[in-house]
Amino acid sequence: MRFSRRDFLAAGAASTALLTGCATPAGPTPTPTAGELSAQLTALLDRAVQTSLRRSPERCTSLGLSEERAGYRHIDKVSDLSKAAGREGRALQQAALAELRAINRASLPARDQVTYDVVATAWENSLANSAFEVGGGAGSPYVVTQLTGAYRNGPDFLDAQHPLRTRDEADAYLARLSGFAGQLDQETLIIAEDAAAGVIPPDFAIDGALASLEGFSSRAPAETVLVQTLVRRLPAVAEIPEADRASYVSRAEALVRDTVFPAYRRQIEALRTVRPRAVHDAGIWRLPQGAEMYAASLRSRTTTTMSPQEIHNMGLELIASLNSEMDGILRGQGLTRGSVAARVQEISRRPDQLYPNTDEGRTQILADLNTQTRHIESLMPQAFNTLAQAQLEIRRVPPTSEAGAPGGYYQRAALDGSRPGAYYINLRNTAEWPKFTLPTLNYHEGVPGHHWQISIQQESGSIPFIRSAMLGFSAFSEGWGLYAEQLADELGVYATDPLGRLGYLQSMTFRASRLVVDTGIHHLRWSREQAIQSMMEATGDQESSVTTEIERYCVWPGQACSYMVGRQAINRMRDASRATLGARFDLKGFHDTMLANGAVPLTVLEQIMSDWTTTQRA
């Protein structure tokens, strides 16, 4: 069932003056103390958190929050994805930001000033994005594509994150399964409404979505992950006897057949209706206010004011530098003829670098990644004093969604420890993962990358909940992921593995190429094919994997720029601190300080690390 929400900001309370005897002139209003302002900020953020949690039952489950912590029963509810709900959320956020701005930041304690800046930036960027009432806002302008939509998120959430440990959770699963169908219909309405406003995804994005929707709904209901997750997980629920398990499976199968699949068919029909009007132009520039939308998305994704052309030029310069390093390694391998990309492709096709494209080959990839993880974990005390505790699992992207999914992505651990952190690798075709390319992916998604950074953030105990669990900044988190790849190299993991280091440099080139192609598509009006060719020439990656990436950038404008912009910013901060402190520079202290504050905008991070450097110098 869908969940109705309440406003969290109460009307201003009336104050009453108690007068004794003759009235006297009112004195000046006392200036709030730092402690009072801190309490005011905490109360505001607590209300904002509760509102956000009430608007997203799935997030409560993903975070592993109890009903008491969430403030309501969320296990059987799903979010309202309608445009009306989006407008309501925007109004609530505007009110919260106005209340935040009424607090005197300069009088807050230093730690609260950081929180003030982090939250203000997040809300300002969110409002700038949601001002464009299409899809998910400026940074995700199309509600349903090959990459976006409830049809992609819902089944994965129900299978991987909805708990099935009790009869109550099994009943809640069926309620959410019905609610999932309602979410599909909400997005189907938005498809038509956005199309009427001239916002239609590119033709290839619609075709990708149709292929996934049709592929999923053409199965027998009993064969879908929505039913199979019960078949797989219910036997472990002791309080549900075998006869009742069959009933749950049967009821889920009926819901998929009679409720979910009809919603899929309605969404398929809506996409087919707008498909004749779709064009092949890939960039956001072609939409109403496209340039303004791209500017808002870039600012939000990078937390900088860099222009599209500045980002484009940064990418070109980095590609040239990285290709020079790759050329040196390739020459050391006896490969001297042809472009860098052509020679990387030659290595990628070597039999000794390929896993069998079989279930056995995929199992071996996961085993090798786990071995690499154990090794890099053993090196972490060399670079950090604070070590992450959460466990990490490496999983395959579900075959039902791998066609349009990126190469890898991370899912944070539950706060209550009930679910470990996990990153997913897309194994639709093992040829897309030559052996020399795997380690750097591992360091980015796992240790010391996303899993390490987010786990330390969640385990710190000193970061306000709104920052540790509710807000995200792509430039910081993805910038850290790239910096983590670099750190692994600096820790010597490739000392005897030149091809592994080639994979690392190729990964860096890939992220530098993202700066070029994202701005190329959305600012310089490149075609999809032009962007594919540019990335292949820069990286030597295979066309199939590059195509998936380019199509991702087309529907998530600006997101791909956050990685390298963030990594370069972290390196500038480290270089500046090292130059100031000289021999007194402490790499462990630098890393601990950076991660102890959690994900923050780059502007805030710059100040945090500058303050740390000043303190170390003193």
Dist. CA 171–CA 304, nearest whole Å: 46
The pLDDT of residue 419: 85
Dist. CA 44–CA 355, nearest whole Å: 53
Give the distance from CA 380 to its chain's centroid: 24
pLDDT in tens, 10-68: 333 333 332 333 444 556 667 889 899 999 999 999 999 999 999 999 999 999 999 99
Residue whose C-alpha is closest to residue 419's, from 232, 160, 166: 160
**Amino acid identity of 537?**
E
Beta bridge partner(s), residue 78: 2
Enter the tokens of residue 597: 């504050």
Dist. CA 297–CA 135, nearest whole Å: 13
The pLDDT of residue 512: 98
Q: What are phi and psi of 283, to 5 degrees?
A: -90, 155
What is the mean pLDDT, run by run of 10 residues, along the chain of 618 residues? Answer: 36 32 56 92 97 97 94 98 96 98 96 96 97 93 97 95 96 98 98 97 98 96 97 95 95 98 98 98 96 97 97 98 97 95 94 96 96 96 96 90 80 85 93 95 96 93 91 96 98 97 96 98 98 95 91 97 98 98 97 95 96 95
Pairing of strands 408-411, 421-425: antiparallel
**Amino acid identity of 97?**
L
In a domain? residue 259? no
Question: DSSP string covering 377-403, please?
Answer: HHHGGGT-SS---S-EEEEEPPTTTTT
In a domain? residue 577? no
Give the distance from CA 339 to its chain's centroid: 34
Q: Structural domain tally of the chain?
A: 1
Residue whose C-alpha is closest to residue 562's, from 614, 525, 599: 599
Is 567 in contact with 482 (CB distance < 8 Å)? yes
Residue 234: C-alpha distances to residues 24, 219, 224, 399 (Å)? 72, 22, 16, 22
Enter the tokens of residue 507: 């990964």
In a domain? residue 48? no
Residue 520: C-alpha distances to residues 102, 309, 527, 531 (Å)? 41, 9, 8, 7
Max Cα-Cα span within the chain: 99
The pLDDT of residue 460: 87
Q: What are phi and psi of 424, to 5 degrees?
A: -110, 135
In a domain? residue 41? no
Q: What are phi and psi of 171, to 5 degrees?
A: -60, -40
The pLDDT of residue 462: 87
**Amino acid identity of 23?**
A
Pairing of strands 408-411, 392-396: unpaired
In a domain? residue 534? yes
**Amino acid identity of 225?**
V
DSSP designation for 523: T
The pLDDT of residue 26: 58
Dist. CA 604–CA 618, nearest whole Å: 21
The alpha-carbon radius of gyration of the chain (Å, integer) is 25
Dist. CA 369–CA 360, nearest whole Å: 14
The pLDDT of residue 466: 95
pLDDT in tens, 321-379: 999 999 999 999 999 999 999 999 999 999 999 999 999 999 999 999 999 999 999 99
By residue range, what is the domain housing residue 423? 292-569
Q: How many CA atoms lie within 13 A of 17 on its CB side?
A: 9
Q: 179-199: string of b/e by CB count within 10 Å (b at 16+)?
A: bbbbbbbbbbbbbeebbeeeb
Is 173 in contact with 77 (CB distance < 8 Å)? no
Query: CA geometry: angle at 314 spanning 308 and 320, to 5°?
Result: 140
Give the distance from CA 234 to its chain's centroid: 30
Is 99 in contact with 164 (CB distance < 8 Å)? no
In a domain? residue 328? yes
Who's near 577: CB < 8 A, 6+ residues apart? 585, 590, 609, 612, 613, 616
Beta bridge partner(s), residue 395: 424
> Angle at which helices 587-596 and 602-617 pack, to 10 degrees?
140
In the numeric block, the tokens 């945090």 are attached to 608
Dist. CA 124–CA 156, nearest whole Å: 30
Enter the tokens of residue 168: 């109550």
Residue whose C-alpha is closest to residue 303's, from 141, 120, 448, 108: 120
The pLDDT of residue 541: 87
**What is the phi-psi region of residue 25: left when phi exceeds 0, alpha when psi lies from -120 to 50, beta otherwise?**
beta
In a domain? residue 435? yes
Residue 11: burial class (beta carbons within 10 Å; 0-12, 13-18, 19+) = exposed
In a domain? residue 415? yes
Enter the tokens of residue 446: 């796992």
